[in-house]
Amino acid sequence: MSSNQQHTAVEVSGLVKRYGSTVAVDGLDLVVDRGSVLALLGPNGAGKTTTVEVCEGFLRPDAGTVRVLGLDPLAQGSALRPRIGVMPQGGGAYPGVRAEEMLRLVAACAANPIDPGWLLDTLGLTSAGRTPYKRLSGGQQQRLSLACALVGRPELVFLDEPTAGMDPQARRLVWDLVTALRADGVSVLLTTHLMDEAEALADQVVIVDRGQVVAAGTPAELTAGDSDHQQLRFRARTGLDVRLLRDALPEGCAVREITPGGYLVEGRIDPQVVSTVTAWCAQHGVLAEEMHVAKRSLEDVFLELTGRELR
């Protein structure tokens, strides 16, 4: 393990956390490599916040081991905390504190803080700098919380639903920030229930449901899925004889007209299959439009694994 620690920012294994009879986290494993972004993706109540709070040293696990930057977050919390940045899910400021005052307080706790003025400006909070926290909008509160997580130049940041309650521009900004953090070698563990967010930002995605990991991998791995169950979709005139098309295709491919004029080929979709479909259409004087190989979304993955909607 010691040699791994240099390459591992967070290592969680067999984590269990119960609240009374509720099992919030049920044997969860995950590894965040240094300098990478891991997204913990799952519906509300999946155990994301609980997992993150155990990593931050706020909760004592009932079972399992947690190492953050090689340290035990509970026993070695005072050595760990100066090295991490934390954006909790909601809250985290005095109701009456001004945005700038709060950020300057958190900045004073760090040895080499980022200039708070610059950070406020970057996050579009300069004009709200003198506004009391309770009168900031939800999105502004979130941005202030993000600023507090970043101001100490941490090695590792925990972002719990960083874009919740944000408008699209602010969300974009957060995405850009996470990308810049990664480029500068900061490790990021973020939680989200948004598939596109996980897909766009994460090197690794861990999908959790009811406290358990249901799938893990890179976004590409998760969405590539089983290569024998890929899909090719196209539009053409209604009523094509799909049996003829199927006969032209390799063994194992199925063809259906799923909506009037909307066709779906399922099976192992390789370049040969695509050119066969095109050629067959040309042969029958059919113009095939909007042809594409459909990738599964993370939502499809989740639905297949759990039989439940992600949101």
Partner 1 sequence: MNSQVQGERVAQAARFQRGTFRPAPGRGALGRMLLAHARTEARLTLRNGEQVLLTLLIPAALLVGLSLLRVLPMPEPRVASVTARIFALAVMSSAFTGQAIALGFDRRYGVLKRLAATALPRWLLVAGRLVAAVLVVVVQLVVLGAIALALGWQPTLVGLAWTVPLVLLGTLAFGALGVLVGGALKAELVLALANVLWFVLLMVGGIALAPGTLPGWATDLVAWLPSGALVNGLQAALAEAAAPGWQPVVALLAWTAVGALVASRTTRLT
Note the residues at the interface with partner 1 (CB under 8 A).
Answer: 56, 58, 78, 81-84, 86, 88, 90-97, 101-102, 104-106, 108-114, 122, 148, 150, 152-155, 175-177, 179-181, 183-186, 199-200, 219-220, 295
Q: How many CB atoms neighbour CB 226 within 10 A?
A: 9
Among 145, 135, 138, CA closest to 106: 145
CB of 90 to partner 1, least distance (A): 7
Q: What is the CA radius of gyration of the chain?
A: 24
Beta carbon nearer to ligand ADP, 41 or 148: 41
Sheet hosting strand 8-19, strand order edge to edge? 22-33, 8-19, 63-68
Q: Give backbone dihedrals phi and psi of 248, rounded to 5 degrees, phi first.
A: -75, -20
Beta carbon nearer to partner 1, 82 or 250: 82
**Residue 47 site contact among Mg ion, partner 1, ligand ADP, none (CB < 5 to 8 Å, cut-off depends on kind):** ligand ADP
Q: Give backbone dihedrals phi and psi of 37, rounded to 5 degrees, phi first.
A: -115, 125
Angle value at C-alpha 284, between 281 and 287, nearest 5 degrees = 45
Among 46, 194, 281, 301, binds ligand ADP (CB under 6 A): 46
Among 24, 103, 253, 269, binds ligand ADP (CB under 6 A): 24
Among 9, 10, 15, 49, binds ligand ADP (CB under 6 A): 49
Sheet hosting strand 262-267, strand order edge to edge? 254-259, 262-267, 230-235, 289-294
Asked if 118 interacts with ligand ADP (CB under 6 A), we say no
Among 8, 49, 204, 230, binds Mg ion (CB under 5 A): 49
**Residue 167 site contact among partner 1, Mg ion, ligand ADP, none (CB < 5 to 8 Å, cut-off depends on kind):** none
CB of 250 to partner 1, least distance (A): 25
Kindly state the tokens that stand for 1.
């393990």
Burial of 38 (0-12, 13-18, 19+ CB in 10 A): buried
Q: How many CB atoms neighbour CB 8 within 10 A?
A: 18
Among 7, 13, 19, 292, binds ligand ADP (CB under 6 A): 19
Beta carbon nearer to partner 1, 202 or 215: 202
Binding site for ligand ADP (CB under 6 A): 19, 22, 24, 42, 44-50
